[in-house]
Structure 1
Amino acid sequence: MKKALLIIIFSIFFVGCFSENKSEYEKNKEEQEELKFQAWSASKEFVKKELKSPGSAEFNFIDDGINSSVIGSITESDTTFTVIGTFDAQNSFGASIRNDFKCELALNYGTFSLINLDIE
């Protein structure tokens, strides 16, 4: 009887430890996804600043899995993101052109700053 009681108590303790770690993992994963979404939004604004007709820009969604991606790298000293994607925008002649971009960002104290931007 005592063995069964000890096994039950140990099982509850064991399951409790792992379920708490899993929720912490899920919390960190959600925070990372939110940071990636913010990096995506910031990169769109940096790209628009370089366009002749920023209002005509139509970006592919971050979750389309084909044309756009956000690669985040977090270190102890800072947070950096690379956003790669495509967009359609009008050129000087009014023609809609598809372009690729690669935007490197740094997150410092809640604000994204531009490291490098390539538009092709």
Structure 2
Amino acid sequence: MGSSVYHPSMDRPGVFGGKPPKKKQNSAAWGCFGCLGLVALFSAVIWGLASIGSGGDGYTMNNKFEAIAQCEAQIESQLKAPSTAKFNSEATGSGTWTVTGTVDAENSFGAMIRSSYQCTVVMDEAKDTARTRIDYFE
């Protein structure tokens, strides 16, 4: 009478009569769905990139957000505690922008103070520069 001992290697195909693994069934339908999925993904990426650039011929520094950023940077340089600044700005114009707003920031005693300001920002797209003048800061 023989004793039989189990070992996990016995489950491998071809070893002690273990079961062979099930074969995956490849289907032509899944291949087609995969190709269609890739085409759809590629189309979505192209469409997304095209919609990003449809606003014009690319980046232009002559915009409201750049004018506001230029003015806020100048005002921030005048503050005692620039890291505490909270801006509320609006800009009007094109080429020459008028930026107005308020800033809440700490003074030298640590108290939050609200100040009003106005800047004139002149954009020079040819040179990719901006000139900013603080009209008032009270």
Tell me the TM-score normalised to structure 1 length.
0.59
Alignment of 1:1-120 (within 5 A): 27=55, 35-60=63-88, 68-73=89-94, 79-108=95-124, 109-120=127-138
Tell me the TM-score normalised to structure 2 length.
0.52
* SS of the residue 1:86 aligns to: strand
Pair member with larger Rg: 2
The alignment covers a number of residue pairs equal to: 82
More strand by share: 1
Identity of aligned residues (%): 36
Q: Which amino acid aligns with 1:42?
A: Q
CA–CA distance in 1 between the matches of 2:128 and 2:135?
A: 20
* SS of the residue 1:94 aligns to: coil
Q: Which protein has greater RCO, CA pairs closer than 8 Å, 6+ apart?
A: 1
Structure 1: unaligned runs, 5 residues or longer: 1-25, 61-67, 74-78
Structure 2: unaligned runs, 5 residues or longer: 1-53
More helix by share: 1
CA–CA distance in 2 between the matches of 1:58 and 1:51?
A: 11
CA–CA distance in 2 between the matches of 1:116 and 1:96?
A: 21
List structure 1 segments (4+ residues) > 4 angstroms apart after TM superposition: none
RMSD of Structure 2 on Structure 1 (CA): 2.4
